[in-house]
Amino acid sequence: MRLLKSVTMFGLLAGLGAGVLADNPISSYHYLADPGAAADDTYFYVITDSDDPAPANANGYEIKALYGFRTKDMKNWTDFGIIYDARKVDGIGAIWASGIAVNPNDGRLYIVFPDGGGGGIVMIGADSIAGPWTNPLAGGKRLIGWGGGAISDCDGIGWCFDPAIFFDDDGTGYFTFGGGSSDSRPANDNNSDIFNIYKLDKDMKGYDVRTKTHLKIGGPKAMEASYIHKYKGNYYLSYSTADLRIAYGMSKNPMGPYEYKGIFMGNPSINGQNINANNNNHHGIAEFKGHWYVAYHDRRIANGYDGLEKIPAEDGRPNPNPAYHRSVSVDEFTYNADGTMKQLTFTREGPKQIENFDPYDWYPALTSSKQKGIRSRSNWTPGKVAEHLLLPLSTKESWIRVSGVDFGTAATGLTVQAASTDDGNKIEIRTGSATGTLAGTCTLKNTGSKNTFADNSCEVEGLKGIVEQLFFVFKGSKDSTMAIKAWGFEGSGTTPPTPQVPYDSVAVKLPAKIEAEKYDIPGTGRGGDVDSYSDNDSENQGDAKFREDLGVDIVEGGTGMAIGYTASGEWLEYTVDVPEDGDYAIKASASTGAESASFCFVLDGKTPIGDTITVPQTGEDWSVYKEFDGGKAKLTKGTHVIRLVITGDNVNVDWFSLGDVKTDALKPTVKFAASSSKVYRVYNVGGKLLGTVDLTGKKSGAALSDAGFTKGVYMLKSVDGRKTFMTSVAR
């Protein structure tokens, strides 16, 4: 979760003039489909499944993964890539049309998805759209399915799929699903009985099957895609009809009965031209900052509508079958005075931008309002946040555009995190168009591998005030030799970074023994006081199931856990409290299966302390840990940061101590569990640390109020670094 940046009314109006309208679809380098939509106070979210695996001549659906997007301004979208992948989850065959909602009780996001075309309904939850996503149901069951692995069955519904999830104002949750037609659950004009709704338990671990209700609806024959939202006390059940439109009914109760009201969406067309290959229809509806939006799919890219670049299918062949290669777009809609829904007008432009873009933050590379000549790649592993990369086709016209950018007084520089396997790869920063005024050029370092990333900084000039269209233009002599991970500008108005903090909230007071896996919690943003470790890859490859969302490799062994899979140049940092000036003895417990390995310690990022510890082979399988003497460190009174630096590959470090302490104080254990701390640090929206709060047994707003925090918006960050979210105090 990022901190909010205030926008003055003058700046907002200045950024919303001509030329700052969004462009549909929201991504022109994926084939995406079946969107769901949700929103909280900060972001509008869209999830989609993907037609990317389908070959060009597909005659059926090949849908395997969910993608996640979010926006603050309805113009610039951040693509988080694959957030859940059936190909890597045991027991899931495919992932089709899904629903998403924000739970007001715990601030978490929840997704309901079908296992393919009828394998049942599964629910997953996460603190962020990026994940990691896990099943919260007791015993990891399915919501709907067959046998002991599900809470209830499909109740005779023809197509057991297309679920949606909805939370009412009081926090009560519901889910729906259904489609097709069967003898017991027929779909007919003016009488369709193909959808069920259930009320979820408040703890999100299941539901009472006795709440089951049939959502019968009149109007055109229903086919699929039930969806519920609420506006001014009315509940709306919308669905896809057999003739490929979106119809809806209204009720005063979320569980119905619903009275049919009309057609909300026709089959997507603009100026009389169908942009959907006259094929199936799907939608997700959510309110965001006083506006109502619908996400839907069409076939704009595969049809080459409005000059869009036709991207090849997964097998590389051009001109793929439009029926099975869809695109996702978003448009705004309104209501009539009586609460009925005005029929949606499909647009090229999409919604208006509702606030200016803040360039002084750190953004995933695929944050943009429009793109050309790029591709992307997700490296997704169950239980982890995927690494999602922008891949330029740099020998062609290749760029991303960011719109309505508020640079304030002026930007001075740009930092881009990227991998490059060729010399001369560069990114030009231009305004107005892809060939517009040049503001700066970042030449990328040749990292020698697409999996090795470096920060590349360059100066920029002429970027001040509101820049309506900002382009990142990718140049290189070969395609597929760049992988861009993230970027951010520097200059006036820079968003303050959140510094790293000690693992247990307060600095370790010396003398002390420090478990190596309890390195400092990283901060957010950019700067020397933000990063608490440097690892050669972004994934925790260890087997200890501890701090899995971070990149340090933690393994079982020693007194419980140790850092492992180490390589020369990697490092970790620990904040310590030195009570008085003096010499502090260094000891450490380590192992290696190599002939030798080594590490050392550095004070405050610059001064070596003690001796380099060389570790000869302790056992061929790294399982034998021995104690080593690291000399003495001359330390001065105060708070310092100790950096453990790997100087020789393949050493496992269990713990180290500073000062005379008993080294047998920690007893070996089989495994440590991840922290479940309910203590959170409290920051204001400017990033200032205000104190701590204990959320045990309380909602966040109530706990803050009880702790003396006044009305306002706050960012909470758990002391174990595993969760960050925004919340508010109402009084």
Q: What is the mean pLDDT of residues 495-515?
A: 90
Q: What is the mean pLDDT of residues 114-138?
A: 93
Say what the alpha-carbon torsion angle 95, 101, 107, 108 is, to the nearest 10 degrees. Answer: -10
Task: Looking at the structure, tell me whether residues 512 and 441 fall in a common domain.
Answer: no
Number of domains in the chain: 4
In a domain, 21, yes or no: no
Residue 13: its pLDDT value, please?
32
Task: Looking at the structure, tell me whether residues 93 and 227 fall in a common domain.
Answer: yes
Residue 69: its pLDDT value, please?
98
User: Residue 689 above 80 pLDDT?
Assistant: no
Task: Looking at the structure, tell me whether residues 528 and 605 fall in a common domain.
Answer: yes
Residue 536: its pLDDT value, please?
76
CA atoms within 13 A on the CB side of 228: 29
In a domain, 546, yes or no: yes
Task: Looking at the structure, tell me whether residues 370 and 237 fall in a common domain.
Answer: no
- Tell me whether residue 712 is exposed, middle or buried, using C-beta atoms within 10 angstroms of its C-beta: 0 to 12, 13 to 18, 19 or more: exposed
Task: Looking at the structure, tell me whether residues 452 and 535 fall in a common domain.
Answer: no
How large a percentage of the chain has pLDDT more than 70?
90
CA distances from 222 to 100, 197, 218, 263, 592 (A): 22, 16, 9, 12, 64
Residue 65: its pLDDT value, please?
97
Query: Could you give phi then psi for residue 145, rounded to 5 degrees?
Result: 170, -150
Residue 20: its pLDDT value, please?
39
Range of the domain at 483: 363-491
| Parallel, antiparallel or unpaired: strands 508-509 and 571-578 | parallel
Q: What is the mean pLDDT of residues 296-323?
A: 94
pLDDT-based confidence at 620, cuts 50/70/90? confident
> What is the strand order of the sheet 164-167 is part of?
164-167, 173-178, 195-199, 213-214
User: Residue 98 above 50 pLDDT?
Assistant: yes
In a domain, 13, yes or no: no
Tell me the C-alpha distance between 428 and 434, whole Å. 9
Residue 663: its pLDDT value, please?
55
pLDDT digit string (tens) for 694-704? 888 777 777 88
Task: Looking at the structure, tell me whether residues 702 and 591 fall in a common domain.
Answer: no
In a domain, 629, yes or no: yes
Residue that is last in its domain, among 613, 629, 658: 658
In a domain, 22, yes or no: no
Task: Looking at the structure, tell me whether residues 592 and 697 fall in a common domain.
Answer: no
In a domain, 674, yes or no: no
pLDDT-based confidence at 21, cuts 50/70/90? very low
CATH number, position 143: 2.115.10.20
pTM: 0.75
Tell me the C-alpha distance between 145 and 143, whole Å. 7
CB 187 within 8 A of CB 239: no
Task: Looking at the structure, tell me whether residues 536 and 400 fall in a common domain.
Answer: no
Tell me the C-alpha distance between 40 and 29, whole Å. 27
pLDDT digit string (tens) for 190-232? 999 999 999 999 999 999 999 999 999 999 999 999 999 999 9
Give alpha helix (H) positions in 36-101: none
Angle CA(678)–CA(682)–CA(683) in degrees, nearest 5? 150
Task: Looking at the structure, tell me whether residues 175 and 262 fall in a common domain.
Answer: yes
CATH number, position 526: 2.60.120.260
Tell me the C-alpha distance between 570 and 566, whole Å. 7
Query: Could you give phi then psi for residue 703, rounded to 5 degrees?
Result: -65, -40
Q: What is the mean pLDDT of residues 252-281?
A: 97
In a domain, 479, yes or no: yes
In the chain, what are the helix, strand and coil shares in percent, each to the nearest 5?
5, 45, 50
In a domain, 665, yes or no: no
Neighbours of 580 (CB within 10 A): 9
Tell me the C-alpha distance between 388 and 312, whole Å. 20
Select the more confidently predicted residue: 411 or 714.
411
For 14, which DSSP code? H
Residue that is last in its domain, among 333, 348, 378: 333
CB 245 within 8 A of CB 266: yes
Task: Looking at the structure, tell me whether residues 327 and 451 fall in a common domain.
Answer: no
Task: Looking at the structure, tell me whether residues 607 and 708 fall in a common domain.
Answer: no
Task: Looking at the structure, tell me whether residues 519 and 570 fall in a common domain.
Answer: yes
